[in-house]
Amino acid sequence: MKDDLFDYLVATDSIDEFLGYEPKCPECGEKLLPIEYGMPGPDLFEKSEKGEIFLGGCMVDDIQPVYHCNKCRRNYYKNLKDYIDEENNWEDEDE
């Protein structure tokens, strides 16, 4: 791997994705879904329906969770230690 590519991946936080790292939920062991923020395009909607990602909506915060567990309905921060439970302000399509 080229050094500058590596630096780029680290700098953009995409190194985990590049290496195929799949974070697991510390609570239930389920594979965590990356949360995508912003206005999703059709491709993101498709991924969301396939269960590959979780749409986080347009909320803009300095620190926001990056992983979602479908089982626990929890949103985890990058360190997988801090999380927020899904609340009513998250759209719930199942009920």
Q: Which residues of this chain interact with Zn ion, rule CB under 5 A?
A: 25, 27-28, 30, 69, 71-72
- The 3-class SS string of the chain reads CCHHHHHHHHHCCCHHHHCCCCCECCCCCCECEEEEECCCCHHHHHHHHHCCCEEEECCCCCCCCCEEECCCCEEECCCCCCEEECCCCCCCCCC
Q: Cβ 16 to Zn ion, closest distance in Å?
A: 18
Q: Cβ 79 to Zn ion, closest distance in Å?
A: 16
Q: Cβ 7 to Zn ion, closest distance in Å?
A: 33
Q: Pick between residue 62 and residue 87 the one whose CB is nearest to Zn ion.
A: 87
